[in-house]
Amino acid sequence: VALHLARNGLDVVGIDASPHMLARLRDRLDGDDAKRVRTVEGDVRDFDLGGERFDLVYCALSSFELLTKTADQLATLGCVSRHLAPGGVFVAQLRSPVHVDWSAGPSPLVLEWTRIDPATDETVTKLSSSAPLRAEQCLRYTEFFDRTDATGAVRRRVFEVALRPVGRFEIELLLAGAGLRLAHVYGDADLSPYTDDSDTMVIVAELS
């Protein structure tokens, strides 16, 4: 997202808690893009970019779901609201909660993709599984990365993360708690309407 914005002539500040993710972004920047993108290692729940104010604050790829506590969601939205310029907007791409499978029972292991790592020639396969924690309104998402070498030997790394999907009216209340007003809800980045069939929910909020 940062690269796309920079290539369209916008100045971007990218925040991530992971120095590795920021390094990956910087590795892909060259020329004018590199001048337009600044990376900041920080926590979205507690960031302060001095007096800087932005016309757009964007939370991509359902990353808001990584905030599994109401206090963390509100702290993040509070930081967003303090960094919006007058007339600026906060946009978040969220998963539609309607499309989350909350049913109990065995969680299928899904093969997400298989790629060759050009650095090692190993085959890398990503599998994942998502189990509902219904009383917590969370999903336990487990990712398995399998590296298969030329001999067929497999090395597996496993990561686990909790995700909290939010509903359209819940996000509206959270925004209000942080001094923001929900202005639009779309079903996708193409600004189509949010309907029963939407997988995604794109919300646009302004300072209230």
Residue from 16, 127, 165, 182 in contact with ligand SAM (CB under 6 A): 16
Distance CA 98, CA 195 (A): 10
Give the number of residues in contact with ligand SAM, rule: CB under 6 A.
Answer: 13
Total residues found in the chain within this entry: 208
Secondary structure of residue 91 in the 3-state scheme = strand
Under rule CB under 6 A, residue 127 binds ligand SAM = no
Structure tokens at 47: 């960031």
Q: How far apart are CA 57 and CA 15, in angstroms?
A: 11
Decide if residue 103 touches ligand SAM (CB under 6 A). Answer: no
* Shorter beta-carbon distance to ligand SAM: residue 47 or 194: 47
Sole window of 56-64, 84-92, 93-101, 162-170 interacting with ligand SAM (rule: CB under 6 A): 56-64
**Residue 3 binding ligand SAM, by CB under 6 A:** no
Q: Output the smallest distance, CB 87 to ligand SAM, in A.
A: 25
158 binds ligand SAM (CB under 6 A): no
Tally of CB atoms within 10 A around 146? 17
Nearer to ligand SAM, 63 or 70 (CB): 63
Instruction: Confirm if 173 and 71 have CB atoms less than 8 A apart.
Output: no
> What's at 129, amino acid-wise?
S
Is residue 63 at the binding interface for ligand SAM, with CB under 6 A as the rule? yes
Cβ-Cβ contacts under 8 Å for 69 (sequence gap 6 or more) = none
Q: Using CA of residue 184, residue 185, residue 190, residue 192, what is the dihedral sign? A: negative
From the list 32, 43, 112, 199, which residue makes contact with ligand SAM (rule: CB under 6 A)?
43
Rounded to whole angstroms, the Cα distance separating 16 from 10 reads 19
One residue of 13, 29, 38, 45 binding ligand SAM per CB under 6 A: 45
Is 34 a binder of ligand SAM (CB under 6 A)? no
- Contact residues: ligand SAM, CB under 6 A: 1, 15-18, 21, 43-45, 60-61, 63, 66
